[in-house]
Amino acid sequence: MSDNLARAFIEHESSEREPFAAPARRGFRLVAPAPSRRARPRIFYALTAVAGMAAIIVAQLLLSVGISQGAYEISSLQSSQSELGRTAASVSEDLVRVSSPQSLAANAEALGMVTNSNPVYLRLSNGAVSGAPASASGSQAGAASLVPNALLTGSTLLTQLPDDAAATSGAVTITSAPVVPAGLAAPTTR
């Protein structure tokens, strides 16, 4: 700045003193044409710089649009992930609940199963029966669950499922004997 101003000041004075100070003029002649020669390239550079800046701005704009587009995508994916996580947690909670002993016992009982607390073992090596065989008495404490589970309130037993639901689940059960491939020989049991 100060350099520029000093030059302007000298130039001004020199133009005033021009008739009297001829020797000083020679020095300025050398300098003066130089800026005028560089004037055109300066505009070119300025334009280049402005264009470059514009390009950068546009590029940055496009980039940030892209990033924020990504942010929306991430946001929506995250919310769908958390929704799916909630669904998974809720479903596995249901699964754990119906696999509780109370639920299993109530369903088994509803299907007519009884427990046999009298274990008998057959030893395959010699065919010996260990234990004293007896028919199952179903001695175990009757149908009422004496071990409460508040989570099972309102859940239905398999046998109480409505007909259409039973039909749907029935479709899954195997209705015919599994087909044994002809190539497999029956194992010989000794």
Q: Which is nearer to another protein, 38 or 86 (CB)?
A: 86
Residues that bind another protein (CB under 8 A): 5, 8-9, 12, 67-68, 70-72, 74-75, 86-87, 89-90, 93, 96-97, 99-102, 105, 117-121, 130-132, 134, 139-142, 145-152
Residues 6+ apart with CB under 8 A from 142: none
**Given the complex with another protein, which of 150 and 184 has the nearer CB atom?**
150
Q: Which is nearer to another protein, 79 or 159 (CB)?
A: 79
Transcribe 59-86 into DSSP letters. Answer: HHHHHHHHHHHHHHHHHHHHHHHHHHHH
Contact 138, 114 (CB under 8 A): yes
Q: How far is the CB of 115 from another protein (least distance, A)?
A: 8
Residues 6+ apart with CB under 8 A from 120: 129, 130, 131, 132, 133
Q: How far is the CB of 169 from another protein (least distance, A)?
A: 22
How far is it, in rounded angstroms, from Cα 108 to Cα 136? 15
What's the closest the beta carbon of residue 158 comes to another protein, in angstroms? 19
| Closer to another protein by Cβ: residue 48 or 79 | 79
Residue 1, classed as helix, strand or coil, is coil
